[in-house]
Amino acid sequence: MAIYEFINQVLTQLKESEELKDITFLSEFPSSKKPVPIKKITAALGGEEISVSPGAMGDIYDSGNGRDAEIALRLTVYAPYKSGGEECLKAFCRICEAASFMENLYIKSFKCGDVSANRDADAFVLKGTISFSGEIVREAD
C-alpha cells in the first residue's frame, strides 16, 4: 500500500467507526475547513513523520518492492469551550481505543500532549500522534 493511501484508509476507518460517530473527522491535507467556533468535537488527521527502510527479506522473496515503514500521523482534537478541555483527552482516548481494534492498522504507539486553549480555533486543542508499523509496496504502473 502506498503511504498516501494508508493515511486515507486510516481517516476513512475512523470516519466509519460506529463508536466515534459523534466526532467529526477532517484531513489536514488537502486542508478541510473547520467551523469557528468549534461546536462539536472535531479531529484532524495529517502526516507527522515517515521513515522507510529496505525490507528484511524483500530482495529474497519478492521483486524488492517492499519496504518496512514507520508512519506517525498527527491527530489534533478540538473540543468546544463549553464542553471543557477534558473532552479533548476523552476523545483522544476513545479514538485510540477504536483504532487499536481496526483491521490492517498495525499500531505501534499513541502519544498526546497537553490540552490548551486556542483562540484561532475558539476551542480547546490537544495534539497527539499515532504511530504505525508495516510494509509499503511500490504502486503498480
Q: What digits encode the pLDDT tens for the residues 15-42?
A: 999 999 999 999 887 666 777 889 999 9
**Which residues sit opposite 72 in a β-bridge?**
49, 131
pLDDT digits (tens, 9 = 90+) for 37-90: 899 999 999 988 888 887 655 555 555 567 888 999 999 999 999 999 999 999
CA atoms within 13 A on the CB side of 103: 1
What is the pLDDT at residue 90?
97
8 Å CB contact between 37 and 80: yes
User: Looking at this protein, which amino acid is placed at residue 34?
Assistant: K
Q: What does the alpha-carbon distance between residue 107 and residue 130 come to, in Å, rounded to a whole number?
A: 7
Can you tell me which residue has the cell 484508509? 9
What is the pLDDT at residue 34?
74
What is the pLDDT at residue 94?
97
What is the pLDDT at residue 75?
96
Q: Domains in the chain and their CATH numbers?
A: 3-136 (3.30.2000.10)
pLDDT digits (tens, 9 = 90+) for 106-131: 899 999 999 999 998 899 999 999 99
What is the pLDDT at residue 50?
86
Q: What does the alpha-carbon distance between residue 116 and residue 25 come to, in Å, rounded to a whole number?
A: 20
pTM, two decimal places: 0.84
8 Å CB contact between 126 and 113: yes
For residue 41, give the nearest of 18, 21, 17 by alpha carbon: 21
Mean pLDDT along residues 1-26: 89
